[in-house]
Amino acid sequence: MKLYDLELSGNCYKVRLFAALAGIPLEIVAVDFLGGEHKRAPLIELNPWGELPVLEDGGTVLRDSHAILVYLAAKYSGEAWLPRDAAGLAEVAQWLSTSANEVQNGPGAARLVDKFGYALDKATTLARAARILPLIDAHLARHRWLARERPTIADCAVFPYVALAPEGGVALQAYPHIRRWIGQIKELPGFVPMPGI
Amino acid sequence: MKLYDLELSGNCYKVRLFAALAGIPLEIVAVDFLGGEHKRAPLIELNPWGELPVLEDGGTVLRDSHAILVYLAAKYSGEAWLPRDAAGLAEVAQWLSTSANEVQNGPGAARLVDKFGYALDKATTLARAARILPLIDAHLARHRWLARERPTIADCAVFPYVALAPEGGVALQAYPHIRRWIGQIKELPGFVPMPGI
């Protein structure tokens, strides 16, 4: 099972982190991102979006970090990281949406500007971060983990770009519950870091 | 089962549409959005995000349109609209992410500017629409439906803000496969429209 990967991508790290925590072996294929390898054949045929990560498992090809988490959890980890009852599945799905939209376009995008020079409006990214981080912190004030009161792929999805927020000029000092939760994730058996975390 | 609803919201419409197609009865509770009812108690306690839709089913409360689709499909429609095998679940999840990020922040956000006067950068929303719509069109050139070659909640999620794109000044003439797919959805038994569709 191949993960087409970029070490500095938080989206790729979501997958590496979850695979490490769940003990799922992955063949990591480093992609020459600066050289545009993901925008050319053969990678662009696997993922027409021209983005990373991409997972290839036999005939199954997935292009989205959240979909890859769902796939790996459903196929290789039983119910441990992804509950399959309606309410549990939906509670996790809720955080995957938050990760794909508010976290990606808030702290995630702020980091793209500061660290990689992306031409995004920095003020908009900071405003989005300033809206979503207090909501996550308030949730974590009442819950130890994001969903189901235990570690799930919801935590793996939201963690990278929240923990990397300082690389986009977004401080986490004001969010004690987020900082506690970051600490909890770092203490999970099998945890692996990435540069900046 | 209550859906706290705004008729003109594409996110609320995703849920109304899917419930109609799958024959799931919902009690629709119209929320005074312009009056800010969703930002005050009791609604803000159900959904601290201060957004619509919100679903309440006994003790289960969900705040995100995609999570609500997952919940309703998993609880009330068997495997018909949401496959539960790893590859099928992930393929649908992939489109839920696309809906939450690229579609919401592309054609969805362009409509918010034009129709409701939201203070978003219109050029950015148009650029995002111009990136994602050709990718969806190319996918639909090779596939009749978004996932699994049959109607799923992936279609219900992506359909509203793509079909409403003209309300944000985004024409669909250049996307023949999207237009075919819109026609297919409108012909599904139980289909319900919303203003603008």
- Residue A2's DSSP bridge partners are A27, A56
- In a mutational test of the B interface, the residue from A64, A99, A143 whose CB has the highest number of chain B CBs within 10 Å is A64
Nearest Cβ partner of A90 from B62, B100, B105? B62
Q: Could you tell me which CATH number the domain at B2-76 has?
A: 3.40.30.10
pLDDT score of B93: 98
Nearest Cβ partner of B97 from A90, A96, A135? A96
Q: List Cβ neighbours of B42 (8 Å cut-off, separation of 6 or more).
A: none
User: Contact B93/A96, CB-based, under 8 Å?
Assistant: yes
Nearest Cβ partner of A64 from B68, B94, B121? B94
Do B2-76 and B86-186 have matching folds?
no
pLDDT score of A91: 98
Q: Where are the domains of chain A?
A: 2-76, 86-186
The chain-wide mean pLDDT, for chain A, equals 97
Q: For residue A156, is pLDDT > 90?
A: yes
- In a mutational test of the A interface, the residue from B46, B81, B85, B89 whose CB has the highest number of chain A CBs within 10 Å is B89
Report DSSP state, residue B168: G
User: Contact B86/A71, CB-based, under 8 Å?
Assistant: yes
- Residue A55's DSSP bridge partners are A3, A62
* Helix, strand, coil content of chain B in percent (nearest 5): 55, 10, 35
Starting at the earlier edge strand, list the strands of the sheet with B54-57.
B27-30, B2-5, B54-57, B60-62
pLDDT score of B78: 86
pLDDT in tens, A19-56: 999 999 999 999 999 999 999 999 999 999 999 999 99
Q: Is the dihedral of CA A28, A30, A33, A37 positive or negative?
A: negative
What is the pTM for the complete model shown? 0.98
**Region of residue B23 (left: phi > 0; alpha: psi -120 to 50; beta: else):** left
Residue A90 binned pLDDT confidence (cut-offs 50, 70, 90): very high
Question: Omega before B193 cis (within 30°)?
Answer: no
pLDDT < 70 stretches in chain B: none
Cα distance between residue A59 and residue A35, in whole Å: 27
Record the tokens describing residue A87, joined without a space: 């309410």
pLDDT score of A51: 96
Architecture of domain A86-186: Up-down Bundle (1.20)
pLDDT score of A4: 98
Q: For residue A78, is pLDDT > 90?
A: no
